């Protein structure tokens, strides 16, 4: 039997492939679109049974090629560019392909774990898995929101496990290919190494400079939650996947800078000391993001905890330090 990971050469997908390898699984079909070829590097240290282009995979799926061969599908493939303006492409790539996978997995009684997104909540103050709190601000968020609605409508007729994970702000290894869409931890690390300082947005929506709050979650925790549901096929649902604690962009910057400083034998600095020394600098808030920006996110984790996931999550200070240490090792 084979595991399918879509978006396998991407950020979260490649971490899931590696995690399956660490569990002794190499019968993995990696599905992706390598139009941006450099993503292959994320799979270079992984063991897979086959790689398939996204279009070829869905063609074979429709032909029945995989009938009786699949143990589970971990569907991470999507266009994650929140600034994408081609709505037809976004809906075809994120919504329609997901719907095809859902139909196939339900017909064949195959567990489906898929990537949803915290963006479905829009600018609302409540981040709980309930329709009344969901109000997407862009077409990316809408594509994720709409698929979640299909899953809900079919809930009572499901034949196999279906798990939607609403990822909050994920950071960690194997995200370099994402460019400007990579996490702020990644960008802060590279800015500090190149220029000796990091750049944060000035305040907006009533928040002070760099004090916008997000639920930053390590990809290590994201992987552990996915593996938990693979191990518990009787558990289904749509779940937030954050830490349950909002922290500021300043917190990420401080953790990044201090971890690099520690690696160089330098003492840690307070946020105020970093500002005084111009190690943290603030730039104007982009006009194109006004009205489309989540200045505060914090996952309500009660549904995931009720479903039986009891492990602690890394906070920014812990998770970013681990990630920066990884980046330092990778850059030597």
Which residues make beta-bridge pairs with 3?
Answer: 28, 72
Distance CA 277, CA 299 (A): 34
Predicted local distance difference test score (pLDDT) of residue 86: 72
Tokens for 149? Answer: 């609605």
For residue 232, the SS3 value is coil
For residue 103, the SS3 value is helix
- Residue 140 catalytic? yes
Res 332 pLDDT > 80 = no
Going by pLDDT thresholds of 50, 70 and 90, the confidence category of residue 92 is confident
User: In this structure, how many other beta carbons lie within 10 angstroms of the beta carbon of residue 99?
Assistant: 14
Q: Which of 185, 312, 203, 301 is nearest to 254 (CA)?
A: 185
Mean pLDDT, the chain, integer: 94
Predicted local distance difference test score (pLDDT) of residue 87: 79
For residue 174, the SS3 value is coil
Distance CA 247, CA 231 (A): 31
Tens digit of pLDDT for each residue in 106-134? 999 999 999 999 999 988 899 999 999 99
Q: What is the pTM of this model?
A: 0.95
Predicted local distance difference test score (pLDDT) of residue 168: 97
Q: Which of 18, 178, 199, 245 is catalytic?
A: 178
Predicted local distance difference test score (pLDDT) of residue 52: 97
Which of 139-143, 150-154, 270-274, 327-331 is the least confident region?
A: 327-331
Res 47 pLDDT > 80 = yes
Distance CA 168, CA 145 (A): 14
Tens digit of pLDDT for each residue in 11-46? 999 999 999 999 999 999 999 999 888 999 999 999
Number of Cα atoms under 13 Å in the Cβ half of residue 283 = 6
Q: Which of 95, 140, 142, 323 is catalytic?
A: 140
Going by pLDDT thresholds of 50, 70 and 90, the confidence category of residue 161 is very high
**Which residue spans within 78-161 are E strands per DSSP?**
112-117
Maximum CA extent, the chain: 63
The radius of gyration computed from the CA coordinates of the chain, to the nearest angstrom, equals 20
Tokens for 222? Answer: 């994201």
């Amino acid at each position: 039997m084979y595991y399918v990971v879509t978006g396998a050469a991407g950020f979260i997908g490649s971490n899931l492939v590696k995690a399956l390898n660490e569990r002794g699984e190499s019968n993995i079909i990696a599905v992706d679109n390598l139009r941006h070829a450099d993503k292959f590097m994320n799979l270079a240290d992984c063991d897979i049974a086959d790689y398939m282009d996204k279009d070829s995979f869905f063609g074979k799926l429709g032909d029945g090629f995989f009938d009786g061969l699949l143990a589970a599908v971990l569907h991470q493939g999507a266009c994650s560019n929140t600034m994408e303006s081609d709505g037809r492409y976004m809906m075809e790539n994120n919504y329609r392909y997901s719907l095809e996978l859902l139909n196939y997995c339900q017909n064949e009684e195959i567990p489906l774990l898929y990537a949803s997104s915290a963006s479905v909540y829009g600018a609302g103050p409540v981040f709980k898995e309930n329709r009344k709190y969901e109000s997407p601000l862009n077409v990316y968020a809408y594509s994720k929101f709409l698929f979640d609605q299909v899953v809900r409508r079919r809930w009572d007729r499901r034949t196999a496990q279906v798990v939607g994970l609403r990822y909050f702000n994920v950071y960690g290894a194997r995200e370099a290919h994402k460019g400007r869409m990579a996490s702020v931890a990644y960008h802060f690390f590279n800015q500090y190494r190149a220029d000796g300082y990091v750049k944060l947005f000035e305040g907006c929506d009533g928040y002070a400079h760099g004090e916008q709050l997000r639920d930053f979650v390590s990809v290590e925790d994201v992987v552990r939650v996915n593996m938990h549901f693979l191990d518990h096929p009787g558990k289904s649902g749509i779940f937030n996947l954050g830490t349950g604690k909002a922290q500021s962009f300043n917190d990420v910057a401080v953790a990044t800078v201090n971890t690099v400083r520690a690696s160089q034998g330098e003492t840690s600095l307070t946020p105020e000391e970093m500002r005084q020394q111009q190690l943290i600098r603030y730039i104007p808030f982009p006009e194109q993001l006004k009205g489309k920006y989540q200045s505060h996110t914090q996952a309500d984790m009660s549904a995931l905890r009720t479903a039986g996931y009891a492990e602690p999550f890394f906070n920014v200070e812990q998770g970013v330090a681990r990630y920066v240490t990884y980046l330092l090792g990778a850059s030597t």
